Amino acid sequence: MISILVSIIIVIVAVSVCLFMFQYKKTSGEKELLREQKETALKELNELKGIVPAQLEEKEKTEAEKKKAEEKNKKLWAMSEAVYKEKAKVDEANELLKQDKETLTKEKEKLEVDKKKVDEKVKKLWSQSVAIHKEKERINELKLEIEQKHKEIIDSVNYAKRIQEAILPDKDLIFSHLPHSFILFKPRDIVSGDFYWFSHKNGISIIAAVDCTGHGVPGAFMSMIGNTLLNEIVNEKGHTDPGQILFYLNEEVNFALKQGRQDSESRDGMDVALCCFDYGKMEMSYAGANRPLYFIKGNELLETKASKFPIGGAVYDTPKKFVTTTFPIAAFESFYIATDGFADQFGMNEKKLMTKNFKEQLILIQEKRMSEQRAHLNDFIDNWKGTTEQTDDILVIGVRV
């Protein structure tokens, strides 16, 4: 606004000077007037010149301030833009935070649900743990009870073993009448279903290898019945013929176990090989119920077959007849009778030893003394068995005459 005013004044002054000069040319009278006007104009011009620098200084100052203001405005605009951009970033960050918050809220809700499920599972597991603990305590009580009963049973079986051993014939008595002999007796369990029996009556030595039905406790019961009946038949009634002894033994077992009755379910019995040595006559006689006699002549093993039925068991329509076979003692070197436990023993190859291999071992040991024969057969069957469980009771009796 000031610059416009100054311009107007300068224009007015210039016009005045021009007019003055124009008038000065017309008349000299007017020259004086023009001079005065000129002086007046110059004076006014000088006055104006004093005003103009101040105005120009003010203008420059105003321009500088304007420039500063513009620069400040630019800075403020730049700052405003930066603030706007920063605000946009903050808004974006806030949006992300909002989304993260929503995600975290959902995660929290999910975790709370999962925690609730876990708490329920923990509660359920705790209940199961308590139940298991109670069941474990009950099982431990049952275990202790079973262990106690097992101990009582084992104690009873061990006591039965002592009774069974007590009723077995004294080996010293056997060896006094059959000095060149051995007995290999290996029960599978604590008590045995196999047993050996011996009696010496009227100068005749009678020895038997008996294999009762079953093994363990059931077999032991049958062995006690068989031992008692043999004592009665030979020692009390005086029978010494092998066939007759087995005939009466069969009759007594049928009677004792009520096997002749139609309603009887008993099929228990025993296989027997029985030999009588009559040194007065120098004869040996044999009869068998499913168990043969092996004897050695030279380097040859011979066999006398047994009757093909057991003692006891099923009752036949016709009485069982057990055949007695008699040999001169001097005709043979060694005699062997055995139950089926040795030949039926399974080895590490999961196969039975079989009778053929048993016979081969009997031939193999003929050069040994009887005690050495027993040791050989014992070691052989142990090596054959290895870590395999014993299959059955084992009984082998050997006599050299």
Is 119 found in the same domain as 32? no
In a domain, 54, yes or no: no
Mean pLDDT of the chain: 86
Is 389 found in the same domain as 247? yes
Is 15 found in the same domain as 159? no
Q: Which of 36-45, 51-60, 119-128, 300-309 has the largest mean confidence?
A: 300-309
pLDDT band at 103 (very low <50, low <70, confident <90, very high): confident
Q: Which of 131-135, 319-323, 344-348 has the largest mean confidence?
A: 344-348
Q: Residue 178: name the closest of 272, 281, 303, 275 by CA.
A: 275
The whole-number pLDDT of residue 5 equals 63
- DSSP-based three-state secondary structure for 186: strand
Q: Residue 247: name the closest of 195, 197, 287 by CA.
A: 287
Q: Is the pLDDT of residue 48 over 70?
A: no
Is 175 found in the same domain as 153? no
Q: Which of 6-10, 56-60, 61-65, 172-176 has the largest mean confidence?
A: 172-176
pLDDT band at 313 (very low <50, low <70, confident <90, very high): confident
pLDDT above 70 coverage of the chain, percent: 86
In a domain, 75, yes or no: no
What backbone torsions phi and psi does residue 181 show, to the nearest 5 degrees? -150, 165
Is 193 found in the same domain as 119? no
The whole-number pLDDT of residue 55 equals 63
- Out of 178-182, 187-191, 258-262, pick the least confident: 258-262
Q: Is the pLDDT of residue 50 over 80?
A: no
Is 156 found in the same domain as 246? no
Is 119 found in the same domain as 4? no
The whole-number pLDDT of residue 25 equals 57
Two tokens, residue 13: 């002054």
Q: How many domains does the chain have?
A: 3
In a domain, 33, yes or no: yes
Is 212 found in the same domain as 142? no
In a domain, 211, yes or no: yes
Is 342 found in the same domain as 310? yes
pTM for this structure? 0.68
Domain encompassing residue 152: 111-167
Q: Residue 193: name the closest of 216, 174, 226, 170 by CA.
A: 216
Rounded Cα distance between 29 and 35, Å, is 10
In a domain, 105, yes or no: no
In a domain, 137, yes or no: yes
Rounded Cα distance between 397 and 383, Å, is 20
Pick 368 or 104 by higher pLDDT: 368
Pick 175 or 62 by higher pLDDT: 175
Is 157 found in the same domain as 281? no
Q: Is the pLDDT of residue 241 over 90?
A: yes
**CATH no. for residue 196?**
3.60.40.10
The whole-number pLDDT of residue 378 equals 98
The whole-number pLDDT of residue 238 equals 94
- Predicted confidence (pLDDT) per residue in 195-212, tens digit: 999 999 989 999 999 999
The whole-number pLDDT of residue 195 equals 96
Q: Is the pLDDT of residue 99 over 80?
A: yes
pLDDT mean over 318-328 = 92
In a domain, 104, yes or no: no
Rounded Cα distance between 20 and 33, Å, is 8
Is 146 found in the same domain as 201? no
Is 186 found in the same domain as 315? yes
Final residue of a structural domain among 33, 49, 65: 49
Final residue of a structural domain among 167, 192, 210: 167
CB neighbours of 113 closer than 8 A, spacing ≥ 6?
none
Q: Is the pLDDT of residue 219 over 80?
A: yes
Pick 390 or 117 by higher pLDDT: 390
Identify any residues that bridge with 335 across adjacent strands, giving them in sequence order. Answer: 295, 399
Q: Is the pLDDT of residue 15 over 70?
A: no
Q: Is the pLDDT of residue 52 over 60?
A: no
- Predicted confidence (pLDDT) per residue in 266-310, tens digit: 789 999 999 999 999 999 999 999 999 999 998 899 999 999 999
* b (16+ CB within 10 A) / e for 147-186: eeeeeeeeeebeebbeebeeebbeeeebeebbeebbbbbb
Q: Is the pLDDT of residue 45 over 70?
A: no
In a domain, 83, yes or no: no
pLDDT mean over 341-346 = 97
- Predicted confidence (pLDDT) per residue in 61-96, tens digit: 877 877 887 787 787 777 777 767 877 887 887 888
